Amino acid sequence: MVLVAPRPLYRPAPPGDAAAERGTGAEVLALLRGDAAARPRFDPGLAGGLRAWLEDAAYDVIAARGEHAPPLFLGPRQLLTSHDEHGDGGGNVGGRGGQADNGGSSSGGAVTDRFLLSRLVQALFRQLVHTGDIHDPLADALDAVRATGDVAAVRHFESLPEGARAVLAETLAVHARNLGGLVPRFAPGWMPRTNDRVAIPLGGGRIVLHGMFDLVVGLPQPRTASLCALGLSSDGPWAVARRSLHYLSLLETLRSGAPPFRLALLESASGRYGVEDVREEHLRAIASHIAAWLEQAATEPTTARGAQGAQGAQGAQGAHG
């Protein structure tokens, strides 16, 4: 992954051009666009081979859980992160509200300040993608969260004392400023889609791998990597967010037959970003990790029960990713 500091210039630009690009996400857009002629073509049997690998691993879990067990829903929180890493549902790519649930933390507990901040940052990200502008970060984000029906998040904000609200507003303003310099302004032809959900059933739907892209642009093309995906991390570890993007790339490969062409990870707290091509080894590494997780779940039923319990807590509040 090409990791860069806030608003870097990918290549030297004349002084007059640098100011015009500032705050437009032009650097990220240029890296995502890349060389269209050099976009990789993947083996048409890649998606089928990866699915067969995962189906084989899923079979033993299904057999161990029994014929009448409810479907097991697995996202990046269950498959890729430890309890300490995903914590209370902060802003990591792919499995939270992208990308956790409507109305509570991803662990099923009360809404926390961290979770509320993540929700507000996600709302501003979507607003930037679709409108290109933020007027009042806190007011805009709260209006968007209210519109989604996230009552618990709104109530948590309203319960905060004035001092805590002021700190939240200042923190959110930093995220908004960084996003303003990172998020590209996509022309309609890019077909930007925020909160793009993907679910892949295994074993006839007994196991479902799921996740959600924060943003996908482009349209799938047969045998050619043509999509670009952007992930937003508001406070999560960089390595975890990047791994979640690889996980989502695997799901997209299984869904459409070809992986995304390129990935961008935006970190709103610091203003840094990274852009990388999706490679076959990324997909195989994630598939291998999931297969190993499923093999462990087949021999240690507590693994699957723990994942199902976490999913049940999310479902009780309204799953979101």
Diameter over CA atoms, the chain = 67
Count of other CB atoms within 10 angstroms of residue 110: 11
Give pLDDT, residue 115.
92
Helices 137-147 and 151-159 meet at what angle, rounded to 10? 140
Predicted pLDDT at 307: 66
Nearest to 183 by CA among 133, 144, 140, 235: 133
How many other CB atoms sit within 10 Å of the CB of residue 233? 30
Return phi, psi of residue 196, to 5°: -85, 105
Can you say whether the dihedral through the CA atoms of 281, 285, 287, 288 is positive or negative? Answer: positive
* CA atoms of 25 and 8, how far apart (whole Å): 10
Q: What is the pLDDT of residue 37?
A: 62
pLDDT at position 314: 45
Token pair recorded at residue 203: 């074993």
Residue 278 backbone zone (phi > 0: left; psi -120 to 50: alpha; other: beta): beta
50: left (phi over 0), alpha (psi -120 to 50) or beta: alpha
CB within 8 Å of 95: residues ≥ 6 apart: 75, 76, 77, 78, 86, 106, 211, 212, 244, 321
Query: What are the pLDDT digits (tens) for 204-230?
Result: 999 999 999 999 998 877 667 778 999
Do residues 77 and 309 make contact, with C-beta atoms less than 8 angstroms apart?
Answer: no
What is the pLDDT, as a whole number, of residue 219?
82
Closest CA to 260 of 213, 230, 228, 286: 228
Spatial contact of 222 and 257, defined as CB atoms under 8 Å apart: yes
Contacts of 230 (CB under 8 A, 6+ apart): 28, 32, 213, 214, 215, 216, 217, 263, 264, 265, 266
User: Do the Cβ atoms of 271 and 6 come closer than 8 Å?
Assistant: yes
The helix/strand/coil state of 3 is strand
Pairing between β-strand 72-74 and β-strand 207-217 as defined by DSSP bridges:
parallel
Residues listed for the chain: 321
Q: What is the pLDDT of residues 72-101, one digit of tens each?
A: 999 999 999 764 454 555 566 765 543 333
Predicted confidence at residue 154, as pLDDT, reads 94
As averages over each run of 10 residues, the pLDDT of the chain (321 residues) reads: 44 32 68 72 86 96 91 94 54 53 46 93 96 95 95 94 96 96 91 96 97 92 80 90 96 92 93 91 96 92 60 41 42
Question: What CA–CA distance (Å, rounded) separates 75 from 53?
Answer: 18
pLDDT of residue 31: 87
**Residue 315 corresponds to which tokens in the numbers above?**
């479902």
Whole-number pLDDT of residue 319 = 35
Q: CB–CB of 195/98 below 8 Å?
A: yes
pLDDT at 225: 73
